[in-house]
A and B are shown apart, each in its own frame.
Chain A
Amino acid sequence: MKLSRFGYLFREGLRGVFSHGFRSFASITVIAACLIIMGSFALLGVNIDSIIKDMEQDSQILAFVDESLTQDDARLLEGAIRTLSNVREVRFITREEALDNYKSQYEDTSIFNDIDASVLRNRYVVYLNDITLMEATKEALENIPGVADVNAEVEIAEGFITVRNVVSVITAILIVVLLIISLFMMSNTIKLATFTRREEIAIMKMVGANNGFIRLPFVIEGLIMGLLGAGIGFLLEWVVYNFIAERITESMAGNLFRFIPFAQIMTPLLIVYLAVGVLVGAFGGGMAIRNYLKV
């Protein structure tokens, strides 16, 4: 297509956006609102995922060695523990180290003077690759001969995983529903525009315009509205995200959660927003004009 022809069609698309000001404003607002809701849930999901990843990094299982084993025998268990597929790292802690660690949590250590390290057990600290498999790994550790007891916070891990799964499902459903709403709104706005311009379309057909020529200004109109909606939605999301992140970080919950900085996620988020804006806009515009092209 010649540049001048595309320029003409682009100007026609722009004319469509501005000559139906209120309707265009409504469409842009709906797209921005849908994207903010979709984006907020997606960002919530991303943050929960990140928290769970942090937990995976930090989460550990304590495997206590049978008291009947000598320290040297206890050290031999490391090989068996490392063979487990979900194990990322293993660290052996002697009874003495365990007691020192315990003491280090208190200011006054004199109260431990009469306590001998032999009351404690040699142990392994086991770090995991995948927190969702904590229960299975715990059972596998318990089955290793020489391991007397295993301590793992399975309930807390499972709680987080449940939250992540629920948020993922809600996000997926919301994304689909809001995409359909955005598409419907966009299509309806442009359908109204095509209705008021049906005479013009009929004239275009009569003088020999092909469907592409007639469709393109409406697709461009949808595209411009989609991109504007995406841009506004992105900026508002930025403000809302930082506002909520600051409030939570300042509150007590800030000790539990670390929000991903917006700068770290803004590029992929912007790309997704623009892609959704372009798709909803162009597809909505194309859908709206379809019925008028059959003559």
Chain B
Amino acid sequence: MVSLNKVRMRYPGTKRDVLKDIDLEIKDGEFVFLIGPSGSGKSTIIKLLTGEVRATGGKIRVNDFDLRSIKRRHLPKLRRTLGVIFQDFRLIEDMSVYDNVAFAMRVVGASSRDIRKRVPYVLDLVGLSDCKNRLPRELSGGEQQRVAIARALVNSPGLIIADEPTGNLDPAKSLEIMLLLRKINELGTTVLVVSHEKELVNALGKRVVSLDDGVLTDHGGEYYK
């Protein structure tokens, strides 16, 4: 599903490698935490996986796409196999909850019939059936993040990437979101969560990889021992 082999990254105009010979394998159906301090290169890994930036060296495969050689015009195809969740939710403010989720299906050319069928199912899955006609600003932070998760989930991606999804939430809501992501994982979707909240990571007891100054360490399940 995700494979990074000796990946190096240096941004143009800089003299420092942000990522140094990263090796990482995430299998189908896995739940993985990526942890590390600010500036350690976590966001760069996310950008590499979504095709926003191109690696300086090494090999990257995501959902059968070779990201070292992928053509720009094929990036939308890659992104349709991914669901991305951000710390700041990134919802469209003047669209209702329903439309925010349906929007992701319209973008990939889904039929109105499929949208009418799929969106209520996903909203039910994240526990927002009663809020479908409300605007994002009428929701709490936790609810907004659930909308973002529903949007990431609605096109049935093979991999969900969550970049600090609980960064703006209180501990109780954070745990709720993590449990929701675990539930999605249990339904068969691979999940990669970037987080620096140690308690949450500990609470779920999943595989952990850590980044420090561009060097990746795979702790597996040993992180908690």
Contacts and interface: CB of A to CB of B under 8 A. Distances in A.
Partners in one complex: yes
Interface of A: 2, 4-5, 8, 199-200, 202-211, 213, 295
A208 B112 contact: no
A200 B109 contact: no
B172 interface: no
A206 B92 contact: no
Contacts of A2: 109, 111
Q: Chain A's interface: helix, strand, loop or mixed, by majority?
A: helix
A210 B108 CA distance: 8
B84 interface: yes
Interface residues of B, number: 22
22 contacts: A4-B112, A200-B92, A202-B90, A203-B90, A203-B92, A203-B103, A204-B107, A206-B84, A207-B79, A207-B80, A207-B104, A207-B107, A207-B108, A207-B151, A207-B155, A208-B76, A208-B78, A208-B79, A209-B108, A210-B73, A210-B76, A211-B76
Contact of B77 (A4, A204, A208, A295): A208
Nearest to B79: A208
Interface string B68-111: 00000100111110101000001010000000000110111101
A205 B50 CA distance: 10
B97 to A, nearest CB: 15
B186 interface: no
Contacts of A206: 50, 79, 84, 90
A199 B92 contact: yes
Contacts of A8: 106
B52 interface: yes
Contacts of A199: 90, 92
A203 B151 CA distance: 10
Contacts, number: 49
Contacts of B92: 199-200, 203
Given A199-B92, A203-B92, A295-B52, A209 B84 contact: no
B151 to A, nearest CB: 7
Contacts of B151: 207
B90 A205 contact: no
A151 B77 CA distance: 80
In this complex, the member of B90, B104, B106 whose beta carbon has the largest number of chain A beta carbons within 10 angstroms is: B106
A214 B1 CA distance: 28
A4 B111 CA distance: 8
Interface in B113-146: none
Given A199-B92, A200-B92, A208 B106 contact: no
Contacts of A209: 76, 107-108
Contacts of B78: 208
A206 B82 CA distance: 9
Contacts of A210: 73, 76
A213 B78 CA distance: 16
Contacts of B79: 205-208
A210 B155 CA distance: 15
Contacts of A204: 107
A195 to B, nearest CB: 15
Contacts of A203: 90, 92, 103
